[in-house]
Amino acid sequence: MLTATDSVGASVVLSTRDLNMRPEQDLAEIVGRFLRVGEAVVGHWVEFTRGLLLFVMAPEDERSGEFYVYERRNGRFWLLSLPDEVFGGYTLGQMRQKIRDFQLLELAENPARLALCGQ
């Protein structure tokens, strides 16, 4: 069986430094600013001690969902690329299955593993 690091790609797209913030600031404020920059809304949020899994969507576009992990320690947002031939995003209905299929919660629990996913 493939692990998340074998199948999921990840690349840093933004940091708290880019947002003129610090990683130790309030998590909701950091995520709020990230969403404003991307003109997006959160479809789902799962919080862990070291990371945060976000399912982010464009307003009024039900097929636009993308997965991000926020790495709390370093204040970095990682965009996750799933190897499933889906281009253009996911629906809320697909989200939970993708989280299970690609073990995305494990990446959010330990975001240091994202560096192994390649950039």
pLDDT greater than 80 at residue 53:
yes
Amino acid at 86: V
pTM of the model: 0.91
Beta bridge pairs of residue 15: 76
What span, in angstroms and rounded, lies between the C-alpha atoms of 23 and 43?
Answer: 22
Summarize pLDDT for 22-44 with one digit per residue, the tens.
Answer: 999 999 999 999 999 999 999 99
8 neighbors 111 (Cβ within 8 angstroms): no
Percent of the chain with pLDDT over 90: 82
pLDDT greater than 50 at residue 115:
yes
The token pair that represents 58 in the structure block: 């464009």
The domains of the chain are located at 4-117
- Residue 1 is predicted with a pLDDT of 39
Q: How confident is the model at residue 15 (pLDDT cuts 50, 70, 90)?
A: very high
Closest among 12, 22, 36, 113 to 75, alpha carbons compared: 22
116 neighbors 3 (Cβ within 8 angstroms): no
